[in-house]
Structure 1
């Protein structure tokens, strides 16, 4: 998580990142990006990771279910910018 915020509010900003093991969940306004990996081992650490992942996925599903969703998002606009180092 970024800053001093407590929790991860899906689709609320472009800043929050939540780590579950080495799995990173990056918050965006129109998507949640997952990258990395996590081992859900059969021990207390694995259970803690599984619970954390389960809780955040429940929040994501609830938020999506409460939204009016398009069939599919259009691809992001890609543009060019001047090189600031030239």
Structure 2
């Protein structure tokens, strides 16, 4: 079954990105990156955005609670690559 049918599955892949307003929630295998902003306005549209954000964060928390977690992840490995334009 594809992730599109299942929805956003936290920590399942390096591809899924969900937008809530201008807030981007990016899936990774070892982290979820949240960037941007969203206005949770006092109207039906704001309520819909708040519910979507709540469901996403609830899924992330539930996944983390079901994992065996280290105290802290090591920093990502950073390397250099040759300039492809030279």
TM-score by length of 1: 0.93
RMSD: 1.4
Deviation string, structure 1 residues 48-67 (Cα, Å, up to 9, x no partner) = 00000000111000000000
The answer for unaligned runs of 5 or more in structure 2 is: none
Question: What is aligned with 2:46?
Answer: 46
Question: What is aligned with 1:11?
Answer: 11
Distance 1:80 1:29 in 2: 22
Give the count of matched residue pairs: 84
Q: Tell me the CA shift for residue 84 of structure 1.
A: 1.1
TM-score by length of 2: 0.93
